[in-house]
Amino acid sequence: MKRTKSRATSFDVAALAGVSQSAVSRAFTPGSSIAEDKRAKVLEAARMLNYVPNSIASSLTTKRTNIIALILGNMHNPFYVHVLNEFSRRLQGLGRQILIFTVDPGSESDDAILRALQYQIDGVILTAAQLSTRMTSICHERGIPIVLFNRYIPGSDASGVRCDNVGGGRLIAEAFLAAGAKSFAMITGDPKGTTSQDRVRGFVERLMEEGVRRSEIEEVPGHSSYDGAASAALSLFAARSRPRPDALFGINDIMAMGAIDALRHRLGLRIPDDLMVGGFDDIPEARRAPYKLTTVRQPIDQMVARTLELMHLDEPDRPIERGIDLPLPSRLVWRGTVPVPPAFRAAAAEAAAADRPESG
């Protein structure tokens, strides 16, 4: 069978309904002035012809496509999968579509943004990668809001939403200290990203307040991946002269999980008996039986909501606010990888209760 290529246009519908083409347009535009019976006739004709309004054509005049570009870096980190899900759910609810771009983590996102711009997207959400100031200003010149998710770029005009990473790092340090840890190590993520840097900073800062010397806190890069963290952990613990650390901070959950698996199954370490481990993000996987990871929860829902607010999708003519940095509070979730000190028993019990059903 051949393609009929029969896409009915508003003119076809108008002809069938016996009205003008503009009437058809009005019938499909909420809040435009058209008589109810006429609208009904149009809708009926449209149904008969399988007419679907052409958003591409309408955006040519309205200057709005209702498309948002979502630029994703590391999809291998489940955190971003949940972020994508949440954005998708909400944006669809707002009648917006998502044009997706995946870029290599750590690489420039300029290319992706440029391609997005060709599609006259109404906004850009960037969850990854670097952003040049040139690209930022190109977007802003055109009135296209661009907001960074889970990161900020110092000195950038782009606004961003993230959680309080420094505070979160402190929470983990606090938990380790309360559990009696004496020597510390961490597996870090992208060294160029503020997210990893801030978590490290908060963690170190808090430890130093208790008299721990920076040189005593071991640090090894885990490349933000499960496997990277697994080898990092092994290199940290395998053969060593100095005493093993008794507390390990994985800068994100997926790395903490990689470290836990490697340490347990390759080196036979018991957690938390031999080593306590803390993570960051609180991805759903962190609750699972093999991990029961004590971690810092990022308020994804809130972060997504604030991101959308920052874009002001329904006020397209509003001047774009520059360089807003919106840090949201994070909180510690006590689970099984850090021994729970008496003072935190209640919090731990609460977390355990909340963990019962995994949403998904």
Partner DNA sequence: TTGAAAGCGCTAACAA
Partner DNA sequence: TTGTTAGCGCTTTCAA
The entry of a second copy, DNA, none near residue 44 (CB within 5 to 8 angstroms by kind) is none
Per-position b or e across 195-223, b if 16+ CB within 10 A of its CB: bbbbbbebbbebbeeeebeeeebbbbbbb
Query: Is 183 a residue that touches DNA (CB under 7 A)?
Result: no
Q: Find the binder of a second copy among 48, 57, 349, 354 (CB under 8 A).
A: 57
Length in residues, the chain: 360
> What CA–CA distance (Å, rounded) separates 224 from 191?
10
What one-letter code names the amino acid at 144? I
Query: Is 182 a residue that touches a second copy (CB under 8 A)?
Result: no
Instruction: Check residue 317 and give left, alpha or beta (phi > 0: left; psi -120 to 50: alpha).
Output: alpha
Binding mask 35-54 for a second copy (x = CB under 8 A): ---------------x-xxx
Cβ closest to a second copy, residue 2 vs residue 242: 2
Q: Closest distance between a second copy and the C-beta of residue 63, in Å?
A: 8
Cβ closest to DNA, residue 60 vs residue 346: 60
Size of the site for DNA (CB under 7 A): 24
CB atoms within 10 A of CB 239: 6
Query: Is 34 a residue that touches DNA (CB under 7 A)?
Result: yes
Query: Is 94 a residue that touches a second copy (CB under 8 A)?
Result: no
Query: Is 214 a residue that touches DNA (CB under 7 A)?
Result: no
Binding piece for a second copy, criterion CB under 8 A, among 89-97, 184-192, 325-333, 342-350: 89-97
> What CA–CA distance (Å, rounded) separates 131 from 138?
12
CA-wise closest residue to 175 among 184, 165, 162: 184
CA-wise closest residue to 11 among 21, 3, 1, 26: 21
> What CA–CA distance (Å, rounded) separates 139 from 350?
45
Q: Find the binder of DNA among 29, 85, 92, 137 (CB under 7 A).
A: 29
Binding piece for a second copy, criterion CB under 8 A, among 141-149, 190-198, 241-249, 298-306: 141-149
Size of the site for a second copy (CB under 8 A): 64
Report 55-94 residues binding DNA (CB under 7 A). Answer: 57-58, 60-62
Contact 185, 152 (CB under 8 A): no
> What CA–CA distance (Å, rounded) separates 256 from 293?
8
Phi and psi at 263, nearest 5°, equal -65, -40
Binding mask 309-338 for a second copy (x = CB under 8 A): --------x-xx-x----------------
Query: Is 56 a residue that touches a second copy (CB under 8 A)?
Result: yes
The entry of DNA, a second copy, none near residue 67 (CB within 5 to 8 angstroms by kind) is a second copy
CA-wise closest residue to 146 among 166, 125, 176, 161: 125
Query: Is 90 a residue that touches a second copy (CB under 8 A)?
Result: no
Binding piece for a second copy, criterion CB under 8 A, among 117-125, 163-171, 180-188, 297-305: 117-125
Beta strand 123-126 with 146-149: parallel, antiparallel or unpaired?
A: parallel
Query: Is 237 a residue that touches a second copy (CB under 8 A)?
Result: no
Question: Helix 165-178 and helix 194-209: axis angle, to 10°?
Answer: 40
Distant-in-sequence, close-in-space partners of 136: CB < 8 Å, separation ≥ 6:
146, 156, 157, 158
Q: Closest distance between a second copy and the C-beta of residue 225, in Å?
A: 6
Question: Helix 253-267 and helix 226-237: axis angle, to 10°?
Answer: 50
- DSSP character for 286? G
Cβ closest to DNA, residue 316 vs residue 341: 316
Contact 74, 126 (CB under 8 A): no
| Residues that bind a second copy in the complex, under the rule CB under 8 A | 1-7, 50, 52-57, 59-60, 65, 67, 70, 75-76, 78, 81, 84-85, 88-89, 92, 97-102, 114-115, 117-120, 138, 140-143, 225-227, 261-262, 264-266, 284, 288-290, 317, 319-320, 322, 357-358, 360
| Residues that bind DNA in the complex, under the rule CB under 7 A | 7, 9-11, 19-23, 25-26, 28-29, 33-35, 38, 53-54, 57-58, 60-62
